[in-house]
Structure formats: C-alpha cells, structure tokens
C-alpha cells in the first residue's frame, strides 16, 4: 500500500447536499469544500461525486471561475449517504508496480449510521469507467480508510479501538485481521496503538485523527496538554506507546508532537474533535487543517519541517468538525496511474 506522499493521480471528494447532514450549515461548509477542491485541482485531478447533474455543473463552474485547470476537474453523479470519502473510497495498492484498487466493505463506522449508498460508490465509479483499466476488487472485510496509515514500505499504523470494534468484523481476532491486512495490503508490520481518542470522534478512534507517518522514520501525533480533558490520560498513554515503537531498522521513530487546539464545542456544549493530524498530502503540497486557533500556525510550521519539499497550505476547517471529522476524512487519494 503506497504512502500518501507518493505520486498521486487524483483525490476523491463527495460534495455536500442540501438535503444531507450538512443542510443546516451548508453555507459555512461548502466554501471549505471549494477550497480543498481548488488546491487539489491546482496540482492533480480532483474527482467530485455530486448528487445530480445540476450540482455537478455548478461545482465545476465555480472551480473554473476560481482558476482551477479544466483538465483536472472530474465530476460524477453518484448517490451517497455522507461526505466522508476517506472511509468508503477504494484503497490503492501497487502490484508489480501497477496500480490496483480494493473496495473494502463500509458499514457506517460499525453500524452507527446508514451506509448502503456510500458502500456502493466505488462500484458505481467503476461501472462509469472513471478508473479506466485499473483492476478493482470488492473485499468482504469491513475497513474504514481512515483507520490505517501506511509508510509505503510495508508498515501500517492503526488503533485497536477501531479495528477490533465488534460492530465491524465480529468474530475476527487481532491475529486474523493482521493476517488479512498482510495478504490484502502487503503489510508485513502492523503497529497497533492501544490508547488514544478524541471527544466527539464517532469512528472509534481513527488513526488519521491521532498519529501519521511523514516518512519511514517519522511519526507526527496529536498531543494533549489539557489535563482536564476527558481523554487526557488516553492521549498521554498514546504518546508513551509511540515512544516504544521501532522502525524497521530497530530505531525509535522521530516523533513530532502537534500542538493542542483550544476547545471548540457544538451548540449543546459538546466538544468537537479538532486535530492537526488530519492533514492531507497531495502532489507538491500538504493541506493542513486550521481551526481559527492560535495553534494553527505552529501546527503548519511543524508539518513544514516534516515535508520540507512541499508547500504547506492551511485550510479553514472549523465548519467540518461540526460533523465529527476534518480535512483528511473528506478525501481519498488515488495512487499514480489510476486516473489519467
């Protein structure tokens, strides 16, 4: 499974609908989608799943007016339940240097939400021909894309709280899941975190909100320096776990602690899951979430040190966390050769 920083052919988004979960704040969230799509389109193809042809035409027109290259904008008409493409988009692998796609089963984060339409999106895109001749295999295993992070060299980082949550693959043991990911994704090392998690995150602890590879020897992670936070002890324990992990060469990872955002809450006072670990690496750039927070610039500067050859672009993501996710959760990248 390639690392996210390897050459990409495109990134997928699913556009918010006026009758969907974003209805009450569509005027706030749609500009964030436009900004993400524009930054992607400046560097590679952006494939946008739309609810209907009218929405597809409008989205394309706005992006063109904003300066996006026409050849980098692909709009499709596909039915969806939600916009979190990271978790139901196909995972890319390379076999003998050629790209293939794996369409894992998505069941709404362990059966929490309706997911039948989202689970069918990849098959719709295959039937519509958007992936060309790239083979795409349906897999019965339930797996959310945000639950894994790859270093591109056979090591995956994940959380036990998500992969072993009984609503996803009941009856499968940790060893059976490890064996399955070895066979399907070519992973010969699976690094499991037993601790971590954010208030307001309803994914059971996706790794892309907590800790990410930046290269084969560097991991960035979301630190917590708020002792009164309900998951403070869990996040401290996660930081200690990360110190114990070893690279393939047997050395400790270089660990980079991302700053802790100030509290952001919903209208009812519930804490929202703001995380700087939810960044997206694309060709020549890193898109970093910003939360109208004093820590935004510090997070961007730290990630610049981790990706010195890429432009770091801050994306205002405060509206996104109202629905319990952020920038990376909305997107799924395609490895080189999938979309031409």
Contacts of 316 (CB under 8 A, 6+ apart): 32, 35, 290, 291, 292
**Phi/psi of residue 174, nearest 5 degrees:** -60, -40
Look at residues 12, 79, 5, 6 and name the one whose alpha carbon lies nearest to residue 41. 12
Residue 305: predicted pLDDT: 98
DSSP letter at 116 equals: H
Angstrom distance (rounded) from CA 133 to CA 338: 8
Residue 57: predicted pLDDT: 98
206-220: pLDDT as tens digits: 999 999 999 999 999
Q: Can you give the residue ranges of every domain in the chain?
A: 8-335
Check: CB of residue 145 under 8 Å from CB of residue 103.
no
Low-confidence ranges of the chain (pLDDT < 50): none
What is the token pair recorded at 99? 């790209």
Angstrom distance (rounded) from CA 77 to CA 159: 34
**Phi/psi of residue 313, nearest 5 degrees:** -120, 120
Residue 235: predicted pLDDT: 98
Torsion sign over Cα 168, 106, 329, 45? positive
Given the structure tokens 């935004």, which residue do they identify? 296
Look at residues 180, 238, 233, 229 and name the one whose alpha carbon lies nearest to residue 209. 238
Given the structure tokens 């920038």, which residue do they identify? 327
Residue 250: predicted pLDDT: 98
**Phi/psi of residue 81, nearest 5 degrees:** -90, -40
Say whether pTM exceeds 0.85: yes
Check: CB of residue 40 under 8 Å from CB of residue 67.
no
Largest interatomic CA distance in the chain: 54
Exposed (0-12), middle (13-18) or buried (19+): which is 23, by Cβ within 10 Å? exposed
What is the token pair recorded at 180? 């399955």
Look at residues 85, 101, 82 and name the one whose alpha carbon lies nearest to residue 9. 101
Residue 234: predicted pLDDT: 98
Angstrom distance (rounded) from CA 202 to CA 76: 28
Residue 327: predicted pLDDT: 98
Angstrom distance (rounded) from CA 327 to CA 41: 15
Look at residues 64, 91, 89, 69 and name the one whose alpha carbon lies nearest to residue 78. 89
Angstrom distance (rounded) from CA 231 to CA 201: 11
CATH for the stretch 8-335: 3.75.10.10
Residue 55: predicted pLDDT: 98
């Amino acid at each position: 499974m390639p690392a996210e920083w390897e050459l990409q052919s495109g990134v997928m988004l699913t556009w918010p609908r006026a009758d969907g979960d974003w209805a009450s704040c569509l005027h706030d969230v749609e500009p964030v989608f436009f900004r993400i799509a524009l930054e992607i389109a400046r560097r590679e193809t952006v494939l946008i799943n739309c609810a209907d042809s009218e929405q597809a035409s409008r989205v394309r027109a706005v992006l063109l007016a904003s300066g996006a290259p026409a050849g980098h904008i692909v709009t499709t008409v596909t039915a969806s339940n939600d916009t979190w493409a990271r978790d139901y988009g196909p995972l890319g692998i390379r076999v003998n240097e050629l790209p293939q796609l794996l369409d894992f089963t998505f069941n709404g984060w362990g059966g929490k939400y309706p997911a039948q339409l989202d689970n069918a999106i990849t098959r719709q895109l295959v039937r519509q021909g958007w992936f060309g001749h790239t083979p795409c295999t349906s897999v019965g295993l339930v797996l959310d894309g945000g639950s894994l992070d790859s270093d591109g060299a056979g090591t995956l980082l994940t959380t036990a709280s998500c992969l072993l949550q009984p609503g996803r693959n009941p009856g499968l043991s940790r060893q059976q899941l490890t064996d399955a990911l070895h066979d399907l994704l070519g992973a010969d090392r699976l690094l499991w975190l037993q601790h971590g998690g954010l208030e307001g995150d309803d994914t059971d602890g996706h790794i892309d909100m907590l800790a990410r590879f930046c290269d084969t020897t560097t991991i960035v992670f979301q630190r917590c320096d708020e002792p009164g936070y309900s998951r403070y002890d869990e996040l401290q324990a996660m930081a200690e776990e990360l110190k114990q992990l070893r690279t393939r060469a047997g050395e400790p990872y270089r660990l980079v602690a991302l700053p802790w955002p100030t509290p952001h809450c919903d209208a009812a006072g519930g804490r929202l899951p703001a995380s700087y670990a939810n960044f997206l690496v694309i060709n020549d750039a890193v898109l970093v979430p910003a939360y109208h927070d004093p820590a935004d610039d510090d997070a961007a500067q730290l990630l610049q040190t981790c990706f010195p050859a890429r432009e770091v672009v801050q994306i205002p993501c405060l509206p996104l966390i109202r629905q319990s996710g952020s920038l990376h959760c909305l997107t799924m990248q395609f490895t080189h050769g999938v979309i031409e």
